[in-house]
Amino acid sequence: MEIQNASEILLIVVSSILSIFLIVAIILGIYLVKLTAEIRRVAKSAQSTVDHLGSAVNGLSRLSSPLFVAELVSKYIKKITKKGKK
């Protein structure tokens, strides 16, 4: 009879521990879903920032190209020579 009581007590203890682990696993699963959504939001924001920086760098590279500088200088020279002829 004592072995049966011991097994019942052991069953109650193991069931209690398993139910606690189940509750903890559910809570961690909920937090994991929230964390995944937050990571996705941050990744979209970072991608948007990188896209904007890429377009800004393209604009700056155009301004620093020798062809752009040569065109700018030639426009000013033409303006100066037109004013000198008048």
Per-residue pLDDT reduced to its tens digit, 52-78? 888 888 777 766 677 777 787 888 888
Residue 79 has what pLDDT?
81
DSSP annotation string for 11-28:
HHHHHHHHHHHHHHHHHH
Neighbouring CB atoms inside 10 A of 45's CB total 10
How does pLDDT run across 22-39, given as a tens digit for each residue?
999 999 999 999 999 999
Record the tokens describing residue 28, joined without a space.
């961690």
- Position with higher pLDDT, 76 vs 49: 49
How does pLDDT run across 7-17, given as a tens digit for each residue?
999 999 999 99
CA-to-CA separations, 32 to 22, 26, 44, in angstroms, rounded: 15, 10, 18
Neighbouring CB atoms inside 10 A of 37's CB total 10
For the question of whether the overall pTM of this predicted structure is more than 0.75, the answer is no
> Residue 68: which residues within 8 A CB-CB, separation 6 or more?
62
Residue 63 has what pLDDT?
67
Residue 67 has what pLDDT?
74
